[in-house]
Amino acid sequence: MMGKRSKKKLKYQSRTPLSGHKKEGKVLKPPFVQFGAGKGLVSWTNDRLPEMVWAALLIAKLGRDRALETFRTFLRFGAKDENSPRFWDPTLTGFSQLEPADRREILGVLCQTEELRGALAPLLLFSALPARDDWQEALQNAQPGPAELLMEAVRLTLFHQSQEATDCRWVRLMSGMFGKRVIIPHEELIQLNGYPRLGDQTHVRPSIRAAEGAMDAAEKRDLTWSNAFWAECWEKTPCLGVRTNEHVTGSAAEAVDLKFLQEIRRELESHWENTRETTAIDARHDAVFGMAFYALRLMEEVVTAEGGAVVGRLALRTLLEIRLTLHYLLKEDKLELWRTWRNYGVGQAKLASLKLEKLDPAPPNYLDGEVLNRIANEDFWEEFVAIDVGHWAGSDLRKMSEKIGLKDVYDRYYGWTSGFSHGQWGPIRESVFVLCLNPLHRGHRIPKPQTPPSLPKIKDDAIELFDSILAEVDRAYSPFSRRCRS
Ligand SMILES: [Zn+2]
């Protein structure tokens, strides 16, 4: 049914299912928010990665194994002054706050070989680098070169749980431990010392990250360098856009074009004629064929508006509503209910028509006051028409879908398409922004480069809903067997 589109399955294992959320008023809160966590959460990416970017550069240049060796050399050097530890803060800001002699000593350790100097030289790309003069001296003649190595280093460590980020965070944690700023139970210390070879890493890695994250819980960090780092990355390197793959439509949908839909239109028209029994008001017949023709019109606009991706989603939302409403009406199939539905619409026309008269200056272009007035008075004189400001069936679409056993269809199509019709952030994010691929820009959002920006095609979904509407026509006035897909 769904064409050839490959669909990624959502992974629910690692997410809190909706049932795990707590309802407070009209808000569903996930567990972490319920417990009040996440409020003062400090950020690895924003705040601490810039401080440990020297370690990330070593990993990017030397590879992980040799970088870890260098980290051990560095840590051993710090651990040797047991009684008055000096090097407990291995961040760039931390280095800058050392006594000048101590700073030169530790930078000398990090810049021992030409290879290490080459790896760390990109630090000089930053004019805001803390203790820049001392770094320049320690790096001797090493040139920062282009930003590629830095980009690779940041790419590897941008995600706070990546292996490389964990390595950097381990260096910081171990420095704090040897410097007696962090206290950790002995058996855990043994494991951390043997990182990444000792113990079950699926357990060790998260505990490193948790302990490193907790290091800042007590005091407020100075964010001058971190902010300057990201600002300079932004100023000095360009955005990297990407041409996203064109979203493809299943080949079955290709066949459904305007010509194809016009054949359906002809068949629907003759079926309308064959099933019509009276010139009196026939609320049922008008509703069934009215909705089918309306859906058809939407389909025609969907297939002609190539690239009408956002508008297509508004169409999906409407197709869903038609499909559910029609099914609901047919399931009950009471004359009174058909009339209620129709009269609700008449009332809305009257309401709009009355409001129109008060509009000043001229009413908007899309409204035809005469037509509205005619609809309001067509069935009855409008003085007999009540205006219902609620839902026509005193219900809502969700409740209706539950009542007729089509909640699954509702769930498939309602939420996100409604977001499109309301212009909410999520659909806006999906429609017009893409993530910048320059890791030095922390995955910020940039406008999608294409005109119009692509979105997954909606045609298969529209066809699915439209076919089910045609099936309702068949249910109401059998036989009508025509479908887009057989
Ligand atoms: Zn960018």
What is the mean pLDDT of the segment spanning 283-304? 92
Distance, CA 158 to ligand 1 centroid (Å)?
14
List the single range of 51-55, 260-264, 273-277 with lowest mean pLDDT. Answer: 273-277
List the single range of 28-32, 114-118, 133-137, 229-233 with lowest mean pLDDT. Answer: 28-32
Please report which confidence band the pLDDT of residue 215 belongs to, taking 50, 70 and 90 as the band edges. confident
Distance, CA 205 to ligand 1 centroid (Å)?
30
For residue 165, the model assigns a pLDDT of 95
Distance, CA 446 to ligand 1 centroid (Å)?
7
Distance, CA 220 to ligand 1 centroid (Å)?
28
Distance, CA 362 to ligand 1 centroid (Å)?
45
Distance, CA 248 to ligand 1 centroid (Å)?
27
- d(C-alpha 48, C-alpha 200), whole Å: 26
Distance, CA 453 to ligand 1 centroid (Å)?
18
For residue 484, the model assigns a pLDDT of 92
For residue 251, the model assigns a pLDDT of 56
Distance, CA 448 to ligand 1 centroid (Å)?
12
Distance, CA 229 to ligand 1 centroid (Å)?
14
Distance, CA 234 to ligand 1 centroid (Å)?
7
Distance, CA 470 to ligand 1 centroid (Å)?
47
List the single range of 248-252, 347-351, 437-441 with lowest mean pLDDT. Answer: 248-252
What is the sign, positive or negative, of the torsion defined by CA atoms of 17, 22, 25, 27? Answer: negative
Distance, CA 436 to ligand 1 centroid (Å)?
5
Distance, CA 242 to ligand 1 centroid (Å)?
11
Q: State how far Cα 109 lies from the chain centre.
A: 44
pTM across the whole model: 0.70
Q: Domain boundaries in the chain? A: 44-236, 251-476
Distance, CA 156 to ligand 1 centroid (Å)?
17
Residues in a beta bridge with 435: 445
Distance, CA 450 to ligand 1 centroid (Å)?
16
Distance, CA 431 to ligand 1 centroid (Å)?
18
Distance, CA 241 to ligand 1 centroid (Å)?
8
For residue 249, the model assigns a pLDDT of 53
Q: By the 8 A CB rule, do 402 and 350 touch? A: no
pLDDT per residue over 24-79, tens digit each?
Answer: 776 666 655 444 444 344 589 899 999 999 999 999 999 999 999 999 999 999 88
Distance, CA 444 to ligand 1 centroid (Å)?
6
Q: Tell me the average pLDDT of the chain.
A: 85
